[in-house]
Amino acid sequence: MRKTIIHHAYFFVFFTSLITAYAAISEKAYASNYEEQFPHVFKRHGPPVYKVALTFDDGPDLTYTPKILNILKREHVKATFFVLGVHAACHPEMIRRIIKEGHTIGNHTFDHINLIHSTRSKIKWEIAATEQVLVRISGQTPKWFRAPYGNVNPLVLTELQQLGYRAVNWSVDSNDWKSLPAKIVKQNILQQVKPGAIILQHCAGNEKEDLTGTVRALPDVIHTLKKRGYQFVTIPQLLNADTKTVHAKK
Ligand SMILES: [Zn+2]
57 part of the active site? yes
pTM of the model: 0.86
Q: What is residue 64's predicted lDDT score, i.e. its pLDDT?
A: 98
CA distance linking residue 185 with residue 217, whole number of Å: 6
Helices (H), 1-100: 2-31, 34-37, 65-74, 85-90, 92-100
* Ligand 1 centroid distance, CA of 17 (Å): 30
76 part of the active site? no
- Residue 35: CA atoms inside 13 Å, Cβ hemisphere, count? 12
* Ligand 1 centroid distance, CA of 48 (Å): 26
Q: What is residue 84's predicted lDDT score, i.e. its pLDDT?
A: 98
Between residues 248 and 124, which one has the greater pLDDT?
A: 124
Catalytic residue among 7, 108, 202, 247: 202
* Ligand 1 centroid distance, CA of 12 (Å): 37
* Ligand 1 centroid distance, CA of 164 (Å): 21
How much of the chain, in percent, has pLDDT values that exceed 90?
A: 81
Catalytic residue among 57, 58, 61, 176: 57
Ramachandran region, residue 41 (left: φ > 0; alpha: ψ -120 to 50; beta: rest): alpha
* Ligand 1 centroid distance, CA of 214 (Å): 15
In the structure, what pLDDT confidence band is assigned to residue 162 with cuts at 50, 70 and 90?
A: very high
pLDDT over 90 at 181, yes or no: yes
The whole-chain average pLDDT of the chain stands at 90
Write the pLDDT tens digit of every residue in 128-146: 999 999 999 999 999 999 9
Q: Residue 86's closest CA among 53, 59, 116?
A: 59
CB atoms within 10 A of CB 199: 25
Q: What is the mean pLDDT of the segment spanning 84-92?
A: 98
Helices (H), the chain: 2-31, 34-37, 65-74, 85-90, 92-100, 120-138, 154-162, 182-192, 212-227, 235-239
- Which residues surround the ion ligand 1 when the cut-off is CB under 5 Å? 57-58, 148
User: Distance of CA 44 to CAs 75, 180, 198, 200, Å?
Assistant: 25, 23, 7, 11
Least confident window among 19-33, 34-48, 128-142, 167-181? 19-33
* Ligand 1 centroid distance, CA of 46 (Å): 20
User: How far does CA 101 lie from the centroid of its chain?
Assistant: 20
* Ligand 1 centroid distance, CA of 243 (Å): 30
* Ligand 1 centroid distance, CA of 76 (Å): 25
CA distance linking residue 134 with residue 153, whole number of Å: 25
CA distance linking residue 165 with residue 211, whole number of Å: 29
Cα-Cα-Cα-Cα torsion 131, 133, 138, 144, nearest 10 degrees, comes to: -30
Write the pLDDT tens digit of every residue in 190-225: 999 999 999 999 999 999 999 999 999 999 999 999
pLDDT over 60 at 41, yes or no: yes
Question: What long-range pairs does 215-219 form, CB within 8 A, spacing at least 24?
Answer: 215/64, 215/67, 215/68, 215/71, 215/182, 216/182, 216/185, 217/174, 217/176, 217/182, 217/183, 217/185, 217/186, 217/189, 218/68, 218/71, 218/72, 219/71, 219/75
